[in-house]
Amino acid sequence: MKKKINSKLIIIFIFLILIESMFTIFTTNIWGNILLKVFFIFLIALFIDFITNIFSPKVNKIIYNILISIIMFLTFSYAIYYKMYENILTIHTLFNSYKAITFISILFKEILQHWYILLIIGILLGLFIYIEKYINFIKIDKKNIGKELIGIISTYLVIIVLILCFPNNKLYSPRNLYFNINNNTENVKQFGLLTTIRLDIERKIFNFKEKGINYNKNGEIIDSEKYNVLNVTLNSDNEEVREIYDYLLSTEPSNKNEYTGLFKDKNIIIFIAESFGNMAIRKDITPTLYKMQQEGINFSNYYAPSFSVGTSDSEYTLDNSLLPADGEWSMESANNNYLYSYPNIFEKLGYNTYAYHDYKYDYYDRNKYISNMGFDSYLACGNGLEERMNCSAIPSDYDMVKASMSDYINDDKFIAYYVTISGHRDYDDNNNIVKKNWNQVKDLNYSRNARAYLASQIELDKALEEVIKTLKENDRLKDTIIVLTGDHYPPGITYNEMQEISSYKLDATFEKYRMPFIIYNSEIEHIDNKKYCSSLDAFPTLLNLLGVDYDSRLLMGRDIFSDSKDLVIFSDRSFITDKGRYNELAESYAGQEVDTNYLENIKNTIYLKYRYSRLILENDFYKYLSFS
């Protein structure tokens, strides 16, 4: 008698195909390497079938239901997370989500907004509960266990051979992704969601180390009069630390220029503004923001890419000119040496340093991060700011400024660092900041959510108006620069709602991430810099403007005013240069005619910046350096 077809295996395989397809449709809508995805899905199906064969029928059925439920939960979680942040969720973030999802109402609203995903998950679950009664759960003979294991191993070996057979002439080839480098977005594209999750877990457990790629080493002696460089010495015999050092010193530094030292010895007030975007700058309702942009230094082609851990990753990039590490919470590196943190630089120059945040002081472990950066004082809700202002609901940026400026306004030199919250989602009737400023936007000809977003940004405008007013009253305005940028695009409004209030055409890949970067001082003439740049470049630009002695090779960004090449790097490894735009997921380029080598060289540059940013973080690299 012929052996019956294993209906359970077929059902599991079809189920996984449907799950992977659903995830692709609801997220990137890019199918990638279908052949490899199907093979990996079949491998997972074999494994689940095997696990649900080796115990008693009752236990096998329980395990089957648990595994199916876990897969559905993970698929739903990853899909919702992508809808919220347009990034692939990582295991590290998933298991630390209790720290990040404080705004529970936001999560539920996101689920309700994408109810169709939950509905399809529910339909699939109901379908498989119904089909389950037709599955004959058995316990296989011990003598057959080996045969099934051989089947799983053989399938895996076939996949490995298949991966090795793919051309390896591209950075994100299947072979490089599977064996050499880590990129969750590309992994999903090449291997599928479930295999990406498996690789993420394996690499976390076994401390996966990426393999480097070749790069051109700079053997020239660099003139410190012309470039922002120092004499750097490495104090370590560690092989990986030496690798980082060799790479960094091989990179091209940024040159000194006509703007070097423009703001030397000025006081500094920095604002990292929640969900701040170009559409928030309007002469009618946010006149102070408008004034700062029109009269200060404005970087009109500046982008703030959205990384996987929201404000935390954005803040880390802005503060350190390093790219956040995939699969990690980079700001958790509380014990690392921050060589070029604002306090480490400016306290040596006689500045007093202050940090403020009008939300929970320990959110994202920010208290540890800020402390380790070296700030003299850090005040937020929960460690003293609540005694000066109302910290309930969504706190007011204006109230934070009003409650804090007396701390430093009379200092000889100061740096004040603000992370705001008033612009945070949700932009609905429960948002007290929106209600507070509603009268100023209610008659605008936009949708309800678009007007509510603008209402939230009015509070930031009021805060900056108060800063300028207080500086002027205390005769400190001309001696102070105000630095303003946002953390990320506003995820609380839809793409169409953003387009309503935008003064330029948006697109989901690039222009959604264009953001203001403004440096305001009452004594300078307006400058509009059109270089393509990003949040990675903000910190070295400030260091150059402030005339600080630093080594630009030790940072991943470059001074925007220097003659370094235009480059904007996105979290999915897409990029913008002065020649054009490349969408990594779609593998499409638009712009001036360039050869294949040009695109591959930019891809390699981006890979190296991500790789060595992560290695700097993991090795606490800066502590091994000394200068002479």
- Cβ 581 vs Cβ 568: under 8 Å: no
Please give the share of the chain, as a percent, with pLDDT higher than 90.
73
User: If you write DSSP's letter for every residue of 449-505 in order, what string do you get?
Assistant: HHHHHHHHHHHHHHHHHHHHHHHHHTT-STTEEEEEEESS--TTS-HHHHHHH-SS-
Among 89-98, 127-136, 192-201, 530-539, whose mean pLDDT is lowest?
Answer: 89-98
Task: List, for residues 279-322, the tens digit of each pLDDT value.
Answer: 999 999 999 999 999 999 999 999 999 887 778 889 999 999 99
User: Phi and psi for 417 in degrees, rounded to 5?
Assistant: -120, 115
What's at 217, amino acid-wise? K
**Which residues, 6 or more positions from 137, have their beta carbon under 8 angstroms from its beta carbon?**
8, 52, 57, 58, 60, 61, 64
416/165 Cα distance (integer angstroms)? 56
pLDDT at position 271:
98
Over residues 58-71, the mean pLDDT reads: 92
Task: List, for residues 12-25, the tens digit of each pLDDT value.
Answer: 999 999 999 999 99
385/493 Cα distance (integer angstroms)? 29
pLDDT at position 221:
60
Q: Is residue 204 pLDDT above 50, yes or no?
A: yes
Alpha carbon 444 to its chain centroid, in Å, reads 33
Q: Which domains does the chain have, with CATH numbers?
A: 7-205 (no CATH), 232-627 (3.40.720.10)
Q: Is residue 106 pLDDT above 90, yes or no?
A: no
Among 292-296, 370-374, 530-534, 546-550, whose mean pLDDT is lowest?
Answer: 370-374
Among 225-229, 455-459, 575-579, whose mean pLDDT is lowest?
Answer: 225-229
- Cβ 357 vs Cβ 395: under 8 Å: no
44/199 Cα distance (integer angstroms)? 13
Over residues 526-550, the mean pLDDT reads: 97
Among 4-18, 42-56, 252-266, 406-420, whose mean pLDDT is lowest?
Answer: 4-18
Alpha-carbon dihedral sign for residues 395, 396, 397, 401: negative
Over residues 117-122, the mean pLDDT reads: 86
Binned at pLDDT 50, 70 and 90, residue 598 comes out as very high
Residues in the chain, how many?
628
> Helix or strand or coil: residue 417?
strand
pLDDT at position 509:
86
| Report for 34-48, 310-324, 330-344: range of highest mean pLDDT | 34-48
pLDDT at position 611:
93
Over residues 567-595, the mean pLDDT reads: 95
Over residues 141-156, the mean pLDDT reads: 89
pLDDT at position 329:
72
Q: Is residue 610 pLDDT above 90, yes or no?
A: yes
Closest CA to 344 of 324, 322, 365, 371: 371
Among 253-267, 328-342, 412-426, 482-496, whose mean pLDDT is lowest?
Answer: 328-342
pLDDT at position 215:
66
pLDDT at position 85:
76
Binned at pLDDT 50, 70 and 90, residue 2 comes out as very low
Mean predicted lDDT score pLDDT of the chain: 91
pLDDT at position 131:
83
Taking the model in full, what pTM does it have?
0.88
Binned at pLDDT 50, 70 and 90, residue 336 comes out as confident
Q: Is residue 582 pLDDT above 70, yes or no?
A: yes
Roughly what angle, to the nearest 10 degrees, separates helices 57-85 and 104-113? 100
**Which residues, 6 or more positions from 397, have their beta carbon under 8 angstroms from its beta carbon?**
273, 358, 418, 420, 421, 422, 423, 459, 460, 462, 463
Among 49-58, 106-115, 343-352, whose mean pLDDT is lowest?
Answer: 106-115
DSSP-assigned letter for residue 213: -
pLDDT at position 219:
56
Among 189-203, 279-293, 328-342, 584-598, whose mean pLDDT is lowest?
Answer: 328-342
255/347 Cα distance (integer angstroms)? 25
pLDDT at position 522:
97
Other CB atoms within 10 A of residue 4 CB: 7
Q: Is residue 99 pLDDT above 60, yes or no?
A: no
Binned at pLDDT 50, 70 and 90, residue 469 comes out as very high
Please give the share of the chain, as a percent, with pLDDT higher than 70.
95
